[in-house]
Amino acid sequence: MADTKTFPDTDASLLADHRVESTYRNVNGVQLHVVAAGETDAPLVVLLHGHPDFWYGWRAQIISLLEAGFRVVVPDQRGCNLSQAPAGIDPYRIPNLCDDIRELIHDEGRDSAHVVGHDFGAYVAWNLALRQPSVVNRLGILNVPHPTVYRDTLRASLQQILRSWYVWFYQVPKLPEWMLSRNEMENMVASLEVTSNQGTFDEETIHRYRAAWRHTGVGPRINWYRGFRRSERPARNTVTQPTLICWGEDDIALVPAMAQKSIDYCENGQLRMFPDTSHWVHHEREEVTEALLQHLS
């Protein structure tokens, strides 16, 4: 049976805080919905969500960073929620996702910013730091390994191959879109619940996620993973920016050994492991926000 409830707006009004506003930015040939807060001349932090998230996944960090004196900019990445969703796979290749963020930073009148990412947003953040290092001041990574570590682990670890089943499934034409869209996106809801600790996503929060998914559908999000498979590697492996990795040890999709291996590719890296914590580490542990504030300050 279809869900007949009225779905909420999915812009900055979800936070009910007059300091936080929705804006629309034309960057890199797409229009992005961007939630922004803070003085325009304050130190700039860009927060990048992953799949199946949208800007709202950073709600706790937005307020904390704002009150700490930062300018916070949180885009719905292309293909998500209120942002434009180009057709096809090539628009979702990693270089295009990186260029979106570079141009967004420049649209803020800055040459560079602190960049923090979770899930696929962290993969974009790693790549931005490697491909365009002058754009990133400090890097924050939540529960995603360095690109080289992920690639090498996939070659050597049967456990990680099995945990990455969904990456291979998303390469199949049309079937993933059908599977994730049917029954009011119940499989998308299940992906939130299965990958998190019990109670991380309550009924009202899931209601808001359903509303966000309805805007562009699931196809563009799946094309992120198809575009990822079509993307060339960064020219360098070593991250020169000060980097903080926060990792929930109970992530069911990623083996935790990749966290320490990722630090080995950072000239100035720090790792915080969080036991009894899922992939959604920044939702479940307030210490993550505290660690990010200390790192970015």
- pLDDT at residue 214, rounded to an integer: 94
- Backbone conformation region of residue 148, classed left if phi is above 0, alpha if psi is from -120 to 50, else beta: alpha
Distance separating alpha carbons of residues 144 and 123, to the nearest angstrom = 7
- pLDDT at residue 5, rounded to an integer: 55
Phi/psi for 256 (5° steps) reads -65, -20
| DSSP letters for 213-242 | HHHH-SHHHHHHHHHHHTPPPPS---B-S-
- pLDDT at residue 257, rounded to an integer: 94
| Adjacency order of strands within the sheet including 136-142 | 20-27, 30-37, 71-75, 44-48, 113-118, 136-142, 243-248, 269-274
Distance separating alpha carbons of residues 50 and 80, to the nearest angstrom = 10
CATH topology of domain 13-296: Rossmann fold (3.40.50)
Neighbours of 229 (CB within 10 A): 13
Distance separating alpha carbons of residues 209 and 81, to the nearest angstrom = 9
Largest separation between any pair of C-alpha atoms in the chain: 53
CA 168 to chain centre: 20
pLDDT tens, N- to C-terminus, the chain (297 residues): 334 456 679 999 999 899 999 999 999 999 999 999 999 999 999 999 999 999 999 999 999 999 999 999 999 999 999 999 999 999 999 999 999 999 999 999 999 999 999 999 999 999 999 999 999 999 999 999 999 999 999 888 899 889 988 888 999 999 999 999 998 889 999 999 999 999 999 999 999 999 999 999 999 999 999 998 899 998 899 999 999 999 999 999 999 999 999 999 999 999 999 999 999 999 999 999 999 999 999
Q: Is the dihedral of CA 78, 202, 116, 222 positive or negative?
A: negative
SS3 166: helix
Amino acid at 164: S
- pLDDT at residue 1, rounded to an integer: 32
**Rg value, the chain, Cα:** 18
Q: pTM (2 decimals)? A: 0.95
Place of tokens 């990445």: 77
Phi/psi for 294 (5° steps) reads -65, -40
Amino acid at 160: Q
Please report, for the chain, the start and end positions of each structural domain, with discontinuous segments joined by +.
Answer: 13-296
> 199 CB contacts (<8 Å, ≥6 apart)?
none
For the annotated catalytic residues, the residue numbers are 119, 225, 279
SS3 72: strand
Structure tokens at 47: 């927060």
- pLDDT at residue 183, rounded to an integer: 87
Exposed/middle/buried for residue 267 (C-beta within 10 Å: 0-12, 13-18, 19+):
exposed
